[in-house]
Structure 1
Amino acid sequence: MLHIHIKKFNELNTSELYELLKLRSEIFVVEQNCVYQDLDDKDKKALHVIGIRDNIIVAYTRIFGPGDYFKEASIGRVAVDKRYRRFGYGKEIMESSIKGVQEHFNIDTIQLSAQTYLIKFYSSLGFKKVGEEYLEDGIPHIKMIMN
């Protein structure tokens, strides 16, 4: 079972911060073979949605209010440890993130910048494609909106 916690940056302890940054690096830098600056100063504005199983951070997103990243509220840095992907934690962490945006920001319109190979996954959660595909850090993405 996945236990979800939503925390502000200053509520994260050093172990949590280290583990979530390690997970993001494992996925977005190493697994996807993409050299980019993950530490972008936006973590301080974000709410961090952390999925824990057996005392290990196995799923993560960060959420923003309107205007903190995009014009709309947004979800980003969606990550699930590849050893745990078969359990449906991607869907669970996203559903918790959507609920977190709704509860913390009292808003239903949410934007994300989706890697194009995940369009079907995000569509299943209620997001719709907007505009044309674009490259972000050398990886094809598309803007998606839920409202």
Structure 2
Amino acid sequence: MKRDLSISIKSFDDLSIIELYQILQLRSEVFVVEQDCVYQDIDGKDQKAIHIIAKKNGQIVGYTRCFPAGYYFKEASIGRVVVKESERKFGYGHVIMEASEKAILENFKTNNIKLSAQQYLIKFYQSHGYEPVGEGYLEDGIPHIAMVKS
């Protein structure tokens, strides 16, 4: 793991108010503002997820939320994969993905994972062993494709 990055795994109830605020701020900053996509990020599903949080100097710079098999897909799933734009050059996306996969194995006892990838990130997810399945589709106006790892 990168020395300047700390990873924590928390249930929704274990998140502090400040952490929740920073998570929602980061997701909004990237998914709504940077990607110019108007959609309902606060979807009522965070309460059911485990939250993988990457902090640098006390600030959240990376994040995912993970669900058990049967919640989103028949496989466990990783979603809302995000790294602050100014921090992407440090490889934190790879760190947060590895931590998410480890959290799924430890919490949900499976390596079978499915995610809905933005198509421009296919190579990134392939570097973690995911393969595209099916046809691409639009999700909130952005081209996506399902990818699985088993």
Q: Is the pair's TM-score, using the shorter chain for normalization, greater than 0.5?
A: yes
1:32 is aligned to: 35
User: Which ranges in structure 2 are unaligned for 5 or more consecutive residues?
Assistant: none
Distance in 2 (CA, whole Å) between partners of 1:116 and 1:146 is 16
Whether 2:146 is the aligned partner of 1:143: answer yes
1:96 is aligned to: 99
User: Which ranges in structure 1 are unaligned for 5 or more consecutive residues?
Assistant: none
Whether 2:77 is the aligned partner of 1:65: answer no
2:84 is aligned to: 81
Distance in 1 (CA, whole Å) between partners of 2:34 and 2:70 is 30
By how many angstroms is 1:142 displaced?
A: 0.2
- Aligned AA for 1:56? Q
Greater displacement, 65-74 / 20-29: 65-74
Using the size of structure 2 for normalisation, the TM-score is: 0.97
Whether 2:32 is the aligned partner of 1:17: answer no
Distance in 1 (CA, whole Å) between partners of 2:96 and 2:5 is 9
Q: How does 1:126-137 map to 2 (within 5 A)?
A: 126-137=129-140
Q: What whole-Å deviation, never above 9, does each CA across 1:85-130 have from its counterpart, x for those lacking one?
A: 1100000000000111011100010000000000000000000000
Q: How many residues are paired up?
A: 147
Distance in 2 (CA, whole Å) between partners of 1:89 and 1:121 is 12
**What's the secondary structure of 1:44's corresponding residue?**
helix
By how many angstroms is 1:68 displaced?
A: 1.7
Distance in 2 (CA, whole Å) between partners of 1:13 and 1:71 is 30
Overall identity of the aligned pairs, in %: 59
By how many angstroms is 1:146 displaced?
A: 0.3
By how many angstroms is 1:2 displaced?
A: 1.0
Distance in 2 (CA, whole Å) between partners of 1:84 and 1:143 is 26
By how many angstroms is 1:57 displaced?
A: 0.2
Whether 2:42 is the aligned partner of 1:42: answer no
By how many angstroms is 1:4 displaced?
A: 0.3
- Aligned AA for 1:113? S
